[in-house]
Amino acid sequence: MSSPSTATAPTGASTRTGRRLRVLLAVVVVLHLAALYWPQVTVEGPVTWSDKVVHVLLFGVPTALALLARARPRLVVALLALHAPVSELLQHYVLPHRSGDVWDAVADLSGVVLGVTVVVVGRRLRHW
């Protein structure tokens, strides 16, 4: 019979998966910050709804990866939900070649909600 401490200890595979998720999360966060704070973004042609899809993904993917990497859910959601409007304000007031957009912030917050939803529903389906 195994002791309680070894019965709940992570396996080698889950430890490796956790490390990979954290590395992937770090890469995604760097890309997230680069996309939001790059000094100048040149868009060819008219900006369409695809811009909002990019914003949803910029916040949805890091949210989902952070939750899958077992970060504290309340902290993840709070930080990214706060970062959404702050990033738009910084783009508007600090970056001279960028402009903030309230609808981008709405898309960012939608991405946070989508990221949480995907992880929660995925975990429930997995245990179903």
Does 18 map to a domain? no
Quick check: is 11 in a domain? no
The C-alpha atoms of residue 8 and residue 5 are separated, in whole angstroms, by 6
Any domain includes 32: no
The parent domain of residue 76 ranges over 49-128
Question: 93 in a domain, yes or no?
Answer: yes
Residue 3 reports pLDDT greater than 60: no
pLDDT surpasses 90 at 90? yes
Number of domains in the chain: 1
Contact between 62 and 81 under an 8 Å Cβ cutoff? The reply is no
Mean pLDDT for all residues in the chain? 90
* Per-residue pLDDT band at 113 (split at 50, 70, 90): very high
In a domain, 97, yes or no: yes
CA distance 60 to 32: 10
Q: What confidence score (pLDDT) does residue 95 get? A: 95
Over residues 64-73, mean pLDDT: 97
The average pLDDT across 56-79 equals 98
Round to whole Å and give the CA distance between 107 and 116: 14
pLDDT for 122 equals 96
